[in-house]
Amino acid sequence: MTLPERSVEVKLQSMFDLRALGMELRDAYLQQYEAEFFALFERLKREPLPKFDHATLEALRYAFRMTWAKNDFISLVKAGKNLPEEVLQREPLLTAYIAESQEKLKKQDELKQAYVNSGVAA
């Protein structure tokens, strides 16, 4: 490896380290408001929200990410049903969480059905 290649590699690694640090700082900041974000998420599961400004969307992104980490796919699908179509089009990450949750729930149902049909459950 030549010296210029090495310096590019070091610069790239530094950039990735800074990005990771930035994400950690953002998450630490967002954790201060976690209860409020999850209250908003719980409300979204029950009913559509009246507005979706930048702060609301950031809160929902955080709540969706944390709910995904808990493998609570049913809650993600419920919340997704109350998101307006324009929000889903603007927020591909939220759409991905919802779509993947639907797939996981479908697979869980198929596995349960296969288990029941195998006669082992009896």
Measure the CA–CA gap between 16 and 73, rounded to whole angstroms: 30
* Whole-number pLDDT of residue 93: 93
* Residue 100 in tokens: 């993947």
* Whole-number pLDDT of residue 11: 62
* Whole-number pLDDT of residue 6: 59
- Widest CA span in the chain: 68
| Helix, strand or coil, per DSSP, at residue 121 | coil
Closest CA to 30 of 64, 78, 70, 62: 62
* Whole-number pLDDT of residue 47: 92
Domain ranges of the chain: 1-32, 33-117
The full DSSP string for 18-35 is HHHHHHHHHHHHHHTTHH
pTM of the prediction? Answer: 0.69
Q: How many CA atoms lie within 13 A of 94 on its CB side?
A: 25
* Residue 102 in tokens: 């639907």
One digit per residue, the tens of pLDDT, for the chain of length 122 reads: 444 555 666 666 666 666 776 777 777 777 778 888 889 999 999 999 888 888 889 889 989 999 999 999 999 999 999 999 999 999 999 999 999 999 999 999 888 888 888 876 55
Closest CA to 72 of 112, 95, 34, 41: 41
* Whole-number pLDDT of residue 51: 84
* Residue 23 in tokens: 């994400």
